[in-house]
Amino acid sequence: MYEEEENRWRCSFRSDGKWINVNELLQAFCGGGHAAAAGVRKRTNDVEKFRQEILERIVMMRKISGQNKELETKHRRTRRCRMMEKKRTYIAIDLKSFYASVECKERNRDPLTTNLVVADKSRTEKTICLAVSPALKCYGIPGRARLFEVVQKVKEANSARRWKAPNRTFIGSSDDSAELNSNPALEIDYIVAPPRMALYLEYSTRIYSIYLKYIAPEDIFPYSIDEVFIDVTDYLHTYNMTARELAMAMIQDVLKTTGITATAGIGTNMYLCKIAMDIVAKHIKADKDGVRIAELDEMSYRRKLWSHRPLTDFWRVGKGYAKKLEEYGLYTMGDIARCSIGKENELYNEDLLYKLFGVNAELLIDHAWGYEPCTMEMVKAYKPEMNSVCAGQVLHCPYDFEKAKLVVKEMTDQMVLDLVDKKLVTDQIVLTVGYDIENLNNADRRKQYHGEVTIDRYGRRIPKHAHGTTNLKRQTSSTKMITDAVIELYDRIVDRNLLIRRINITANRLVDESSVKKEEVYEQLDLFTDYEAQRKKQEEEEAALNREKRMQEAMLSIKKKFGKNAVLKGMNLQEGATARNRNEQIGGHKA
């Protein structure tokens, strides 16, 4: 039924609230009597030109009818003509439990059989696990669990295992799944490996260089430290291989060189190869090396995944999207696809999706049908309209107002140095401060708080976060100017009585400092202003900014040569300061 509806949908265009079938229009063009084609038939003898004129006529009719939906019309028209595009072949490769696999190989252990979790025990058992080995996941542990969840799941597994042990007693322990399977008298054990981000980056670089042996860099898009998209359309003929054979060749090369295995997805667009890797490959049997490769095209995607649940398994569909869709009875991608072809007088039609998600509904509808208009060439050519840099951290314990202000100063100082290093300037800063759950758990603090309460991702009640923006008087990378503005914003938006857990600072509207032109300022003169003193003051300010800039560049030079902690400020030594520890980290984790 879905395919039938889609075929009708593909060959039809909606105009002024009515469906016009393009095939009927073509028949009219060839001699039929459809009124909408009568004027066109006299002016053209070319079918393709006729199609184009029909599209233009539809847009014109929409404008005349006063419907303010030109953007949506363009999007929908693009989607309906997408079948004419050239088919391409993409491969997505995801390294299997990358961080955990690296730690296993560094210990000369098998990544597929070793029970290992990458986590920083020094941050207590509430810390996030960066990776869990495949063997440990067999006990029901998710990939991004908290360390206490790992402890709990292993404890439960050992409790059940003890009943099957001889005399219900363990004679030892092991962290190897093969050994555990062969000897029921062994207790399940596991390795907790502290993160080593610099080592993971080194492995990732080595693996990327392996991909470059097969594919040119312009056809590879690194999606993350352990995942890539590859456009192999023009390489299959060169290597005389199928996409599956080429994917397997690259994965086997990575396995031979680094000992790390991978999962791959193959698709006719970037979305389908990602879905094949994330969803389909998880449900197929791995080979002897742990490799899984799945393939999807538009039709197999609809057959296999139109009924798949939950929706959050699909790329770019989060809990918010899924919740909103479920409120309207849309639980699967098949439901969304069917909704997109509903008639205008029906409850379920594409207008409902545009009402819920705006222009983003276009992408959701495309993905429901298995379409993705974005190509590798488009990804490489993309230039964002507005650039920004962001710094954020979750504090290891709740901070009060003054201690958190110290961390805000440190983060601002580091962010400004990053701007100077990249020769960028900004004129807008955004600050977000998240409060701790203890503010509502503690009875005394709860009595003092009368503000708005929200629910976090774990279902806990917490005070609503503070959020604000400040605009600077000029585009700058001055530590003093930006820090003063951020602290003024912090004092204005943050509740002094609440404990703070999260801090995020963003510098928006970044431009290259060389592109900033000094604007001429015109003002009305008067007899009471000392313009000579004003001019001297401006010159002194410029001189101070130049001195500060030279000092910033000197600090950067020293830090690059001797390490980030080679130069510290007095505030970095105060109680509660985090800069020294964070300077030894990469991405918030141990380097």
pLDDT digits (tens, 9 = 90+) for 242-256: 999 999 999 999 999
Residue 66 pLDDT class (50, 70, 90 cuts) = very low
Query: Quick one: tokens of 377?
Result: 């060439």
Cβ partners under 8 Å of residue 64, min gap 6: 16
3-class DSSP assignment, residue 95: strand
Torsion of CA 474, 475, 478, 483, to 10 degrees: 70
> Could you tell me the two tokens for 107?
């210990």
Buried b (16+ CB within 10 A) or exposed e, 263-297: bbbbbbbbbbbbbbbbbbbeeeeeeeebbbbbbbb
Q: What percent of the chain has pLDDT over 90?
A: 66
Min mean pLDDT across 186-195, 319-328, 533-542, 571-580 is at 533-542
Q: Cα(553)–Cα(477) distance, rounded to whole angstroms? A: 11
Does residue 217 surpass a pLDDT of 80?
Answer: yes
For the residues of 482-539, what is the DSSP string, one character each?
HHHHHHHHHHHHS-TTS-EEEEEEEEES-EEGGGPPPPP------SS--HHHHHHHHH
Confidence of residue 533 (pLDDT cuts 50, 70, 90): confident
Strands 12-15 and 172-174: unpaired
What is the rounded average pLDDT of the residues 168-184?
Answer: 92
Q: Which of 352-366, 425-439, 506-520 has the lowest mean pLDDT?
A: 506-520
Four-point Cα dihedral 329, 330, 336, 337, nearest 10 = -70
Q: How far, in Å, are 153, 245, 267 from residue 290 at the CA level?
A: 24, 16, 21
- Output the pLDDT for position 63: 47
44, 25, 23: which is closest to 35 by C-alpha? 25
User: Higher model confidence: residue 63 or residue 139?
Assistant: 139
Cα(430)–Cα(133) distance, integer angstroms = 38
pLDDT at 285 over 60: yes
Among residues 559, 574, 589, the alpha carbon closest in space to that of 414 is found at 559
Residue among 574, 565, 573 nearest 403 (CA):
574
Q: Provide the 10 A C-beta neighbour count for residue 417.
A: 18
pLDDT band at 238 (very low <50, low <70, confident <90, very high): very high
Of the candidate ranges 184-188, 189-193, 335-339, 510-514, the one whose mean pLDDT is the lowest: 510-514
390 with 412: CB under 8 angstroms? no
Q: Is pLDDT of 47 > 70?
A: no
pLDDT computed for residue 19 by the predictor: 43
Q: What percentage of the chain's residues is helix, strand, coil (to nearest 5)?
A: 50, 20, 30
Q: List C-alpha distances in Å: 440 to 185, 436, 443, 446, 548.
A: 47, 8, 7, 5, 43
d(CA 248, CA 355): 44
Who has greater pLDDT, 566 or 585? 566
Question: What's the mean pLDDT when you consider all of the chain?
Answer: 85
Give the domains, in start order, of the chain with CATH numbers.
Answer: 2-84 (no CATH), 86-210+223-296 (3.30.70.270), 311-380 (1.10.150.20), 389-520+551-590 (3.30.1490.100)
Q: What is the mean pLDDT of residues 67-71?
A: 42
In tens, the pLDDT along 452-462 reads: 999 887 788 99
Q: Tens digit of pLDDT for each residue in 89-122? A: 999 999 999 999 999 999 999 999 999 999 998 8
